[in-house]
């Protein structure tokens, strides 16, 4: 198969949602329909996080949440589908934000009973900022929930979407009869047994036909006709170009746990979702069909095999072909690296890959060479941009409980911070270390991993901080004066960048007024 054909086959997307909307269940069912697994649920024990220590997994089981992005790939309808299933919990949102830089489109999962929730708003805004194409899947139709029209209004009002219903439910909960597939003109009938067979889909060419009453009953048929007429009048027709520009969002309804409405979503997705897209760098835009290889690291996972203290760097291929045992230029280190065992994540198993194409995600065994945001090329010095690190909202002093294990603690903090799930700040006035995270759960995870993976025991001391702000100035004298006057509130991040630790919003505003030649940033690009 030619390079162009391989490129046209790829569909790389992320699944995002508020916790408990059914994101991981939908992922399982997509894999099931794709033939990548034989029994729904099998993927749970085979996600990429499986390689982490059993103790770490114990925390995940206790909390009932995912703490790491999972990468899965399978073939469906002559397309190669790459799924990035992201953590839904807000405490791990930064991992999700960075994962979204590695996808070409996204599926947003909404709980029909809860509607649009806070974390969904944040993630959708990230996609909108990047003009990432989004498809909405309204899940759990087997339960009672919000009215369909009301949900579409919420998507428009809260998320600023321009929606286009591609399917429409006939009832919900115990009244759920089926879902009319507007896109294909078919009517899959609902059977609450966890299977949807081909013979349970009937073709309804005309909603006015008597066949509809035979299948769903007179009352449900009239309700469907009325609602479809409304949505086809009020909402725009599907426009492929507008969807791919991020200006129109198709909406599907279904019940992932019952496999219902999932095939319709997947069939439409493989037809309309974009192929691998161009990516911006500090020098130019890189097009996926270029001959020369480029790619960037968007995630690092430490200690996937605790016996070897190994790390996996997740690389998104952006252009050209990545080949095993080939020298590639590490731009930040300015030296060449060769990879003998690059890994592809094919649903339930990892496998050594000889070639990977734009859109693919490759796992590279890392001995400490990579940081999030690093770029590999065939030789060109360019760096992919737009991979963010956000200002933390929770802060703690790190207290070493065993001074004899200081070296282990320093190594553990260094490697865990490289994963990008938390940030380390060293105060300038006293060299005390501060960990900053998006959510409090990260402190428990870091503490647990430091002890069980590195043998270092830590406690935390509280510190009252509002925000960590990166600071820059074009005026060297103003920056020097700022550093002199605000020394007690300054720290260096892991890259040596200057950070102002604001104790309150009021204090930050006063400092901004007093130092108008200093620029304060709540986000730093890696």
Q: CATH number of the domain that 517 lies in?
A: 3.30.70.3280
If asked whether residues 249 and 160 sit together in one domain, one would say yes
**Distance from the Cα of residue 333 to its chain's centroid:** 27
Pair (367, 461) in one structural domain: no
Query: Could you tell me the two tokens for 282?
Result: 């500090």
Strand, helix or coil for residue 495: coil
CATH number at residue 334: 3.40.50.300
Retrieve residue 3's tokens: 């390079």
Task: For 489-505, write each residue's pLDDT tens digit.
Answer: 999 998 899 999 999 99
**What is the SS3 assignment for 212-223?**
HHHHHCHHHHHH
Q: Which of 332, 351, 377 is the last residue of a domain?
A: 377
Instruction: Establish if 285 belongs to a structural domain.
Output: yes
Say whether both 398 and 353 belong to one domain. Answer: no
Evaluate whether residue 141 is within a structural domain: yes
Predicted confidence at residue 347, as pLDDT, reads: 45
pLDDT, position 309: 58
- Same domain (yes/no): 126, 141: yes
User: Are 313 and 298 found together in one domain?
Assistant: yes
Token pair, residue 403, equals 């001074």
Could you tell me if 307 and 447 lie in one domain? no
**Same domain (yes/no): 181, 213:** yes
Q: Which long-range contacts (CB under 8 A, 24 or more apart) does 144-150 make?
A: 144/113, 144/172, 144/173, 144/174, 145/111, 145/112, 145/113, 145/114, 145/172, 145/173, 146/112, 146/113, 146/115, 148/227, 148/253, 149/227, 149/230, 149/231, 150/115
100 in any annotated domain: no
Instruction: Supply the pLDDT for residue 418.
Output: 81
Please name the residue ranges forming H helices in 257-328: 262-272
pLDDT at res. 87:
60
- Same domain for 472 and 327: no
Residue 96 lies in a domain: no
Q: What does pTM read for this prediction?
A: 0.82
Around 378, how many Cα atoms within 13 Å sit in the side-chain half-sphere?
12
The answer to the question of residue 235 being in a domain is yes
Residue 79 lies in a domain: no
Do 175 and 203 lie in one domain? The reply is: yes
Domain-embedded: residue 465:
yes
Alpha-carbon distance 498 to 491, whole Å? 6
Rounded to whole angstroms, the Cα distance separating 338 from 315 reads 14
Residues 35 and 177 in one domain: yes
Q: What is the pLDDT of residue 200?
A: 58
In which domain, by residue range, is 521 found? 391-525
Let me know: does 224 contact 170? Beta carbons within 8 Å. Answer: yes
The list of the chain residues with pLDDT below 50 reads: 37-61, 63-68, 88, 194, 347-348, 526
Residues 133 and 257 in one domain: yes
Say how far apart CA 38 and CA 50 lie, in whole Å. Answer: 19
Are residue 44 and residue 163 in the same domain, yes or no?
Answer: yes
Out of 272, 304, 332, pick the residue that ends a domain. 272
- pLDDT at residue number 35: 67
Q: Contact at 8 Å (CB) between 303 and 52?
A: yes
**pLDDT single digits (tens) 262-321:** 988 999 999 999 999 999 999 999 999 999 999 999 988 776 555 555 678 899 999 999
| In-domain check, residue 81 | no
Final residue in a domain of this structure, among 377, 407, 434: 377
Provide the domain count of the chain: 3
């Amino acid at each position: 198969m030619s390079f162009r054909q391989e490129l046209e086959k790829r569909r790389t997307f992320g699944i995002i949602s508020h916790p408990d909307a059914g994101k991981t269940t939908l992922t399982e069912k997509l894999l099931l329909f794709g033939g990548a697994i034989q029994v729904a649920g099998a993927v749970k024990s085979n996600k990429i996080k499986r390689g982490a220590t059993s103790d770490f997994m114990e925390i995940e089981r206790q909390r009932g949440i995912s703490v790491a992005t999972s990468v899965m790939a399978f073939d469906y309808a002559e397309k190669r589908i790459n799924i990035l299933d992201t953590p839904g919990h807000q405490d791990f949102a930064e991992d999700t934000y960075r994962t979204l830089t590695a996808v070409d489109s996204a599926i947003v999962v909404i709980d029909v009973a809860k509607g649009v929730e806070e974390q969904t708003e944040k993630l959708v805004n990230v996609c909108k900022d990047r003009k990432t194409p989004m498809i909405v899947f309204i899940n759990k139709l087997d339960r009672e929930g919000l009215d369909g029209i009301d949900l579409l209004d919420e998507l428009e009002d809260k998320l600023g979407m321009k929606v286009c219903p591609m399917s429409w439910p006939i009832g919900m909960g115990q009244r759920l009869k089926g879902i009319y597939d507007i896109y294909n003109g078919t009517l899959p009938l609902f059977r609450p047994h966890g299977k949807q067979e081909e013979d349970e889909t009937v073709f309804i060419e005309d909603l006015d036909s008597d066949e509809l009453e035979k299948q769903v009953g007179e009352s449900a048929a009239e309700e469907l006709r009325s609602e479809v007429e409304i949505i086809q009048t009020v909402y725009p027709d599907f426009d492929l170009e507008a969807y791919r520009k991020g200006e129109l969002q198709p909406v599907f309804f279904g019940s992932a746990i019952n496999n219902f409405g999932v095939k319709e979503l997947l069939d439409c997705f493989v037809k309309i979702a974009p192929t691998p897209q161009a990516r911006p760098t500090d020098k130019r835009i890189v097009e996926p069909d270029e001959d020369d290889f480029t790619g960037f690291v968007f995630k690092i996972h430490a200690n996937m095999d605790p016996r070897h203290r190994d790390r996996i760097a997740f690389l998104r291929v952006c252009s050209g072909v990545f080949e095993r045992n080939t020298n590639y230029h590490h731009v930040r280190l300015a030296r060449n690296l060769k990879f003998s065992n690059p890994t592809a994540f094919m649903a339930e198993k990892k496998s050594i890959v000889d070639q990977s194409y734009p859109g693919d995600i490759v796992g590279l065994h890392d001995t400490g060479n990579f940081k999030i945001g690093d770029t590999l090329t065939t030789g060109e010095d360019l760096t992919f941009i737009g991979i963010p690190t956000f200002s933390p909202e929770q802060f703690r002093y790190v207290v070493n409980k065993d001074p004899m294990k200081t070296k282990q603690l320093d190594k553990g903090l260094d490697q865990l911070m490289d994963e990008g799930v938390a940030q380390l700040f060293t105060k300038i006035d006293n060299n005390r270390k501060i960990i900053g995270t998006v959510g409090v759960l990260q402190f428990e995870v870091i503490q647990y991993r430091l002890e069980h993976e590195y043998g270092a025991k830590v406690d935390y001391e509280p510190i009252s901080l509002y925000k960590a702000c990166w600071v820059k100035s074009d005026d060297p004298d103003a920056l020097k004066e700022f550093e002199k006057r605000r020394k007690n509130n300054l720290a260096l991040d892991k890259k040596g960048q200057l950070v102002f630790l604001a104790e309150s919003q009021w204090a930050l505003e006063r400092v901004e007024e007093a130092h108008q030649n200093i620029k304060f940033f709540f986000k730093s690009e890696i």
